[in-house]
Amino acid sequence: MAASYALALHGGAGTIAAGGDETPYHAGLAAALECGEAVLARGGSALDAVVATVAALEDCPLFNAGRGAVFCADARHELDAGVMDGQTLAAGAVAGVRTVRNPVRAALQVMRDGRCVLLAGEAADRMARANGVEIVEPSYFSTPARLAQLREVQARHGQTAVLDHDAAEARHAPHRFGTVGAVARDRHGHLAAATSTGGMTNKMPGRVGDTPIVGAGVYANDASCAVSCTGTGEHFIRACLAHDVHARMVYARQELAVAADEALAQSLAPLGGLGGLVSVGREGRVAMPFNSRGMYRAWVHEGEAGRTGIFR
């Protein structure tokens, strides 16, 4: 598949409720896919494509990233995002930002600045502002459904944090999403990955999951693959899951699909982890395994029509 592009994205994985109106979610996934594909179709980089894709998902209130993010226990939002460039292995991430409209763009600025990989809290908000990333009032991220979801979780579970996609019985948010992300291969053969999240409903303020951690929730290397993960973040961190897919390809010489499947089955599942990932290999093949009931996803190869999926 030389000189052709590929793009895949996810909008979260988990115990997704069946039987509702899936149309808006398919539309949101397709719109984000179109944003990223437009970059690749005009010869743009994989890095720019995944940032554009994830920014579109952050702007869609159906997903748990950016606008529509879940609330922490203190009824505020803390947003995390990470990006990685497979060509240079440069990476950037932010954690706990409160005023950046698109955290993935702040993560890109951290990567371009180069002084650190992960920047957190108010310092990340300040850096984003100083570099021209759009800033909004914290209320921008809030939606009535998410606030109702927080109150319901607090009433049912007290101080326990709940993964967004693992409380499917709650009437205020029958579909659950944990994270958004994208991976791409551009026409030059370079790979990139990006991941973004609003975290967990009712989580302890300051908690950071796998999303902004290189090798856990996001990883890209032109020698192997680009990976973006979604699921039970603490388990993905302990499994170093995104890097595990890369390692299986490089050291065990596994094909992408085998490496992705076995990483979930052999590294994540024994820890009790649930979720999935989207990945693209250096030849442009895509693998999107998950061990949860469903995963919101979309994918496209150059010259083919884009597709979306939720269940198996």
Q: Give the separation between CA 31 and CA 24, rounded to whole angstroms.
A: 10
The pLDDT of residue 101 is: 98
Range of lowest pLDDT (131-135, 176-180, 224-228, 275-279): 176-180
Q: Which letter, b or e, does each residue of 117-127 get, where b requires 16 or more Cβ atoms within 10 Å of its Cβ?
A: bbbbeeebbeb
Place of tokens 């459904």: 145
pLDDT in tens, 82-93: 999 999 999 999
Catalytic site residue 23?
Answer: no
Give, for 179, the enclosing helix (H) or strand (E): none
What does the chain come to in residues? 312
Note whether 96 and 122 are within 8 A (CB): no
Separation in Å, CA 126 to CA 101, 115, 134, 154: 13, 15, 11, 31
Query: Could you give the percent of the chain with pLDDT greater than 70?
Result: 93
Residues 6 or more apart in contact with residue 55 via CB below 8 angstroms: 35, 66, 102, 104, 105
| pLDDT tens by residue, 276-300 | 999 999 999 999 999 998 999 999 9
pTM: 0.93
- Annotated domain spans of the chain: 6-309
The one-character DSSP state at 266 is: I
- The rounded distance, in Å, linking the Cα atoms of 82 and 197 is 9
pLDDT score at 168: 41
Task: Using a pLDDT cut of 90, give the percent of the chain over it.
Answer: 82
213 pLDDT above the threshold of 70: yes
- Residue 238, SS3? helix
Q: Are 130 and 124 within 8 A, CB to CB?
A: no
Separation between Cα atoms, residue 138 and residue 67, nearest integer Å? 10
How far does Cα 219 stand from its chain's mean position? 11
- The answer to whether 196 and 81 have CB atoms below 8 angstroms apart is yes
Where are the extended beta strands (E) located within the chain?
6-14, 79-85, 91-97, 118-120, 180-185, 191-197, 218-220, 225-231, 275-281, 286-287, 294-301, 307-309
Distance (Å, rounded) from C-alpha 36 to C-alpha 133?
A: 19
| CATH match for 6-309 among 3.60.20.30, 3.40.190.120, 3.90.700.10, 3.40.50.2300 | 3.60.20.30
Instruction: State residue 67's pLDDT score.
Output: 95
Q: Are 287 and 242 in contact (CB under 8 A)?
A: no
Q: In angstroms, what is the C-alpha Rg of the chain?
A: 17
Residue-wise burial string across 194-228, b where 16 or more C-beta atoms lie within 10 A, e elsewhere: bbbbbbbbbbeeebbbbbbbbbbbbbbbbebbbbb
List 53, 99, 179, 230, catalytic entry = 179
